[in-house]
Amino acid sequence: MRNIFLIFTVSFSLVTFSSFAKSSDGIEYLNSGKVLPTHLPFSEAVRVDNTLYLSGQIGILPGTLKLAPGGVQAESKQTMENIKISLEANGYSMSDLVKCTVMLADISEWATFNEIYKTYFSGKYPARSAFGANGLALGAKVEVECIAAVD
């Protein structure tokens, strides 16, 4: 029993120190609840200083795990709306995006996605990568993760 208590004490101390280290380093784990349900095992976004790292967004209807009906076009629009909502909920905007990574279940739908994507920017586009993926969460056709930064 004494060994179990010692392990618990050491583990508890590490967890406490780890939490303290995270908050003293200026790292915030954020979930506005405006897009993603709050029970999922990841953060909607993580802020480190003035940089915001968004988890990958798919075209779910806000507050649900249901994809927007209508295929890649509807999912692409909803994905970009979800990114915009998450950014705004955390004090950022689309113009603060500096990098996006796009994953498509079918890379041949890149042009369709791109037509929607470009309407969310006014001339200054973030750096971007795009690739085909073999299976996205919830059977989504598109997923986009982003990094935003402010001065």
The string of pLDDT tens digits covering residues 33-69 is 899 877 888 989 999 999 999 999 999 999 899 999 9
Given the structure tokens 């994905």, which residue do they identify?
A: 79
Whether the CB-CB separation of 103 and 133 falls below 8 Å is answered with yes
Whether the CB-CB separation of 104 and 134 falls below 8 Å is answered with no
Residue 130 Cα distances to 11, 41, 60, 114, angstroms: 41, 25, 20, 10
Q: Can you list the positions of beta strands (E) in 8-141?
A: 27-30, 45-48, 51-54, 57-58, 97-104, 127-132
Strand partners, 101: 129, 145
Residue 136 in tokens: 């996205």
Q: Would you say residue 12 has pLDDT above 80? A: no
Structure pTM? 0.82
| Of 106, 36, 101, nearest in space to 71 by CA | 106
User: What are the residues whose beta carbons fall under 8 Å from the beta carbon of 59, sequence distance 6 or more?
Assistant: 67, 68, 74, 75, 76, 77, 78, 79, 82, 140, 141, 142
Q: What is the pLDDT of residue 48?
A: 96
The SS3 assignment for 95 reads: helix
Q: Would you say residue 20 has pLDDT above 80? A: no
The string of pLDDT tens digits covering residues 86-133 is 999 999 999 999 999 999 999 999 999 999 999 999 989 999 999 999
- Four-residue CA torsion sign, 72, 75, 80, 83: negative
12 or 150, higher pLDDT: 150
